[in-house]
Amino acid sequence: MTLAENEVRPGRVFARVLYDGLTPVGLPNRIIELSGGRIVAVRPAETGEGDDPAMVSADVVAAGFIDLQINGAGGAQFNFDPSVATLALMANGARQGGTAHILPTFISAPQAEYRKALATAREAILSGVPGILGVHLEGPFLSPQRPGIHHPHAIRPMTSADISAMTADFPGPLLVTVAPEYLPDGSLETLVKAGITVFAGHSMATSQAIAEAETLGLRGVTHLFNAMSQMTGREPGIVGAVLASDRLYAGIIADRHHVAPENLWIAARLLPDRLCLVTDAMMTLASKLNQFTLNGQTIRLDGGRLTNAQGTLAGAHVAMDESLRNMIACTGLPIAAALNMASRNPAMALGMHHELGLVRVGYRASLTLLSTDLRAKAVLVDGQHFRI
């Protein structure tokens, strides 16, 4: 991809079928007019208008995908090198699967290393790196009982210094995954009041603890079904609490490895407007790498799974467009509903639904362009066109 291609800002996009995020079916032959990084008109195409070879066009157009949880891509990993260059590589790697905006995810690290991640994301946003929406801190304020692949020695309680660091002014959405049962009294309310989106994850919280946290502003959960207390006959756990809630959002990894198809089906039907496809991707995505080292452990890619020597899943190797296809294949969801799980629902979870997640006048010109078989072909990020 050349610099010149990166700088192309088309004035119109022709969608042979448009999924606007509101209409439950695709709308045929639509023109989306763009100006200043915003959508200024959405209208039926005039006869022959879509035949212009100079116009950006696609078989399927939808609101730009938003990935709330991505650890790495394009051969780069946020934790390994929290730099603006890393974030640019990750955003470009994510675009290969149709993702317009990412929350680069920094997982548990010793002491207060996450502060470097916050500073780097701030710099990337303010310098205009395309696709960097905000940042996701997945830990270190997690449960030592549910570390997953996180280094157990990095997991620790939240302190007043942490709260001060996270509630400082930040130029984009900040998502923090925590174990609610280990939070100091009053900390959840403080984070929420500062505009931070708080998810529960890597936690053994009871359903009652989640219900109480929900009343204090808990917004959702990270990678539903994974690294959390499960539903049993007499204790619904985090899984049951989320499925029974009418407010909580949930990220879910639809790579056919993290979550059984039956559980994808259940979640899709109980949380149609609150389920968010996430990749949880690592540096192997959109690269030729097939292994890397994490916390002294060799992580290998085999059969689409990333695992350590003991078989513990270590993130995922899946793009957003593949996640979309998997969700449809496993659940039978209509295309429009599945697309919303990649765009509208994540925007809602972040409170950004007034500018992202829909294709309508006044919204940011972030679009995902796909083939008829739902493979990413191009992405627009705030009007900037990226071919794949």
* Residue 74 contacts residue 282 (beta carbons within 8 Å): no
CATH architecture of 3-62+359-387: Roll (2.30)
Cβ distance 98 to 146 under 8 Å? no
DSSP secondary-structure letter at 223? S
Distances (CA, A) of 15 to 42, 130, 188, 220, 241: 10, 23, 43, 33, 40
DSSP 132: B
**Chain centroid offset of residue 348 CA:** 12
Report the chain's C-alpha Rg in angstroms: 20
In the chain (388 residues long), the average pLDDT of successive 10-residue segments reads 56 97 97 97 94 92 98 98 98 98 97 97 98 98 94 96 97 98 97 98 98 98 98 97 98 98 98 98 97 94 95 95 98 98 98 98 98 98 96
pLDDT attached to residue 7: 58
β strands within 167-247, DSSP E: 174-178, 197-200, 220-221
Give pTM, 2 decimals. Answer: 0.96
Task: Please state the domain extents for the chain.
Answer: 3-62+359-387, 65-349
> Annotated catalytic residue: which of 67, 280, 321, 382?
280
Question: Any catalytic annotation for residue 321?
Answer: no
What pLDDT was estimated at residue 9? 87
Fold held by 65-349: TIM Barrel (3.20.20)
64, 79 Cβ separation under 8 angstroms? no
pLDDT at 256: 96
Closest CA to 17 of 7, 26, 8: 26
